[in-house]
Amino acid sequence: MPSLKEVKLKIVGVKKTAQITKAMNMVAAAKLRGAQEKMEAFRPYAAKFAETMQAVSSGMTSQFPLMEQRAAQKVELVVFTSDRGLCGSFNSNILKRVAQVAKECAAAGQQVSYVCVGKKAEQALKKTGAVRTAYSGIMGHFSMYDARDIAQDVANHFLSGAVDRVELIYSRFQSIVQQTPTVAPLLPIQPIEDAPKVSGEYLCEPSAEAVVETLQPLYLNVQVYHAMLEVSTCENAARMSAMDNATSACKDIVNNLTILYNKARQAAVTNELMDIVGGAEALR
């Protein structure tokens, strides 16, 4: 049986850990609310954008460089994870999905390269030696500008012919307890099929083609930004539940240790009594 002091110290230690996990849980909850608000604010923009994009490109037959379909020999995966850990299996779920996709590509004889967004992606994928660029340390506080940097970089790479297909891998926020790793195609931009014909043709300036050509890179920004928003929401949700679990695990441990402590104390008392009784017995 461990000594009384040992058990006592252990209880104090575990209680402190519980305090920290509890605090992290609350911080994650607050950040989750912030992330959800950001997503909510972004929704009208994204919806309007998709609507207009459909409206202008419906019935347009001309080819755009960003839509060029090529036989996929080189595939680029843009992987979104969080910068920080302590969020349960959130990052490893995404990375598992990445490994799966990479395996499929390899089986199809395609060469894979990575663009990592978030420190955890970079750390995990560095050893593959196929990381082209990494954006670390931006997931905590990112804006449309960051999304634009990433989207532009990827688009230029695609246009230069260095890659034939680009896919985004991120986590989609379903609910606080459910986040699903998702693979979404980014480039080439998929032609919009059977779009509803918009009543009243637009007068486009400078021309319909020019408008679409300007909109397409912006469309990429929207998609990248959306992925970043989803990931930051998921990250905080995952951290919240991970820290909640940790806190309740700490409570369980404290309970068990307290029982152990009480038993140890009782054993000490019994021993002392036996000594006294034994001493008295010997004197008689």
Partner 1 sequence: MGQRIQLEVVTPAGAIVNSDVDIVNAPGQGGDFGIMANHEPFLSTLKTGIMVYEIDNKRTPLMITGGFCEVSGGKVTFLLENAEFGSDIDVERAMRAKERAERRLAQAAQHDETVNKFRAESALQRALARIRTVGM
Q: Does 52 bind partner 1 (CB under 8 A)?
A: yes
Shortest distance (Å) from residue 134 CB to partner 1: 19
Under the binding rule (CB under 8 A), the answer on residue 44 touching partner 1 is: yes
For residues 26 and 47, which CB has a smaller minimum distance to partner 1 in the complex?
47
Under the binding rule (CB under 8 A), the answer on residue 144 touching partner 1 is yes
CA distance 47 to 156: 26
Residue among 14, 11, 2, 169 nearest 76 (CA): 169
**Contact between 279 and partner 1 per CB under 8 A:** no
Q: How far is the CB of 159 from partner 1 (least distance, A)?
A: 14
- Which range binds partner 1 by CB under 8 A, 16-24, 46-54, 58-66, 93-101? 46-54
150, 121 Cβ separation under 8 angstroms: no
How crowded is residue 170: how many other Cβ atoms within 10 Å of its Cβ? 27
Q: Phi-psi category of 194—alpha, beta or left, where left has phi over 0 and alpha has psi -120 to 50?
A: left
In the chain, the amino acid numbered 160 is S
In 3-state terms, what secondary structure has residue 183? strand
Which of 18, 225, 236, 237 is close enough to bind partner 1 by CB under 8 A? Answer: 225
Alpha carbon 61 to its chain centroid, in Å, reads 37
Q: Is 75 exposed, middle or buried (0-12, 13-18, 19+ CB in 10 A)?
A: buried
Give yes or no for residue 25 binding partner 1 (CB under 8 A): no
Q: Are 171 and 230 in contact (CB under 8 A)?
A: yes
Q: How far is the CB of 166 from partner 1 (least distance, A)?
A: 21
Nearest CA-CA partner of 76 in 111, 105, 113, 101: 113
Helices 208-283 and 144-159 cross at an angle (nearest 10°) of: 120
Q: Please identify which residue in 221, 223, 236, 247 interacts with partner 1, judged by CB under 8 A.
A: 221
Of 42-50, 86-94, 131-139, 274-282, which part binds partner 1 (CB under 8 A)? 42-50
Stretch that binds partner 1, among 18-26, 40-48, 60-68, 76-84 (CB under 8 A): 40-48
Site for partner 1 contains 15 (CB under 8 A): no
CB of 144 to partner 1, least distance (A): 5
DSSP β-bridge partners for residue 116: 79, 134
Taking the least distance from each CB to partner 1, the nearer of 201 and 272 is: 201
Our CB check for partner 1 shows the closer of 22 and 132 to be 132
Contact residues toward partner 1 (CB under 8 A) are 38, 41-42, 44-45, 48-49, 52, 56, 144-145, 148, 200-206, 208, 210-211, 214-215, 218, 221-222, 225
